[in-house]
Amino acid sequence: MTTDQVRVVYTKFDGSLHWHQTMTRLGEDEHGVWLGARPGLIVRKGLDGPDVVVKQAHVLLFPRDAWWTAVFNGEPERVEIYCDITGPITWPSESEVTMVDLDLDVARLRADGRVELWDEDEFAEHQVRYAYPPDVIRKASEAAAWLYEALSSGVEPFAATYRAWLSQVDEVVEAAS
């Protein structure tokens, strides 16, 4: 794996493997590090969970000093932007990024721009199952509230910035292959 390729690893709070895949580094800007993938990317769940074949080009943003990641989907995906609330993002190396998925998700739907908060029930259940500390619960809740407002009001990088990164996916991924 070259440094152009980055293994993306989400775990659960107990350290168990959650979603993971390998994407291509597109670049970095004031919002963070951007990775991209063309249609056909295989995303794996856990060690033996189902594989998902992604049908659209998409970019993933890993912001600095934030408790979230964001996926920006190309057509035809009905979810335009999908944000995972996570623990702090870490880069064990240039070719791997890791974070703890804290269950809450914020999404903006393509058809009508509606913003929704998802998986509050899973967040509540996992607070008990994994014994989330109070500061983790607070920071996850604050991140979800901030994202809900940011996606609703269309501040950057949720307005137009991601479109430029998404437009680069085919060219950059092809060159890295």
In the chain, the amino acid numbered 87 is: G
Specify the pLDDT at position 30: 97
* pLDDT more than 90, % of the chain: 90
pLDDT of residue 174: 62
- The domains found in the chain, sorted by start residue, are 5-171 (2.40.380.10)
pLDDT in tens, 38-75: 999 999 999 888 899 999 999 999 999 999 999 999 98
DSSP lists the bridge partners of residue 36 as 24, 59
Evaluate whether 106 touches 117 at the Cβ level (below 8 Å): yes
pLDDT of residue 175: 65
- Tell me how far apart the alpha carbons of residues 76 and 95 are, in angstroms, rounded to a whole number: 29
* Cα separation, 143 vs 131, whole angstroms: 19
Proportion of the chain above pLDDT 70, given as a percent: 95
pLDDT tens for 121-156 read 999 999 999 999 999 999 999 999 999 999 999 899
Spell out the residues 6+ positions from residue 168 whose beta carbon is closer than 8 angstroms to its own.
26, 27, 36
At a CB cut-off of 8 Å and minimum separation 6, what does 119 contact? 103, 104, 105
pLDDT of residue 143: 98
- For the cut 50, the answer to whether the pLDDT of residue 1 exceeds it is no
pLDDT category of residue 2 using cuts at 50, 70 and 90? very low
